[in-house]
Amino acid sequence: MSTLFTPVEIGPLTLPNRLVVAPMAQYSADEGAHGPWHRAHLGMLANSGAGLVMIEMTSPSYAGRCTHGDCSLHDDRTEAALAETVALMRAVGGAKVGIQIGHGGRKASTHPSWKGFAPLAPGEGAYETIAPSPLPFGAAPAPREMTPADIRALIDDHAAAAARAVRAGVDLIEIHGAHGYLLHQFHSPVTNRRGDAYGGTAENRMRLLLEVFDATRAAAPGIAVGMRITASDWIEGGLTPDDAVALAKALAARGCDYVDVTSGGIDPAQKITVGPMYQVDFAAAVKAATGMPVRAVGLIATPEQAEGIVAGGKADMVALARAFLASPRWGWWAAYRLGATPMVPLQAQRAAHPAWAGWGMMDPALSA
Known catalytic residues? 181
Burial tier of 329 (Cβ tally within 10 Å: 0-12, 13-18, 19+): middle
* 297, 264 Cβ separation under 8 angstroms: no
CA distances from 51 to 18, 35, 143, 296 (A): 6, 24, 39, 15
Sign of CA dihedral 117, 283, 97, 350: positive
Residue 147 burial (CB count, 10 A): 10
Residue 36 burial (CB count, 10 A): 9
Measure the CA angle with vertex 215, ends 209 and 221; round to 5°. Answer: 125
* 31, 65 Cβ separation under 8 angstroms: no
The CA dihedral of 89, 91, 93, 95, to the nearest 10 degrees, is: 60
Distance from the Cα of residue 58 to its chain's centroid: 10
Whether residue 364 is preceded by a cis peptide bond, meaning omega within 30 degrees of 0, is no
Helix (H, G, I), strand (E, B) or coil at 109: coil
Identify any residues that bridge with 144 across adjacent strands, giving them in sequence order. 130
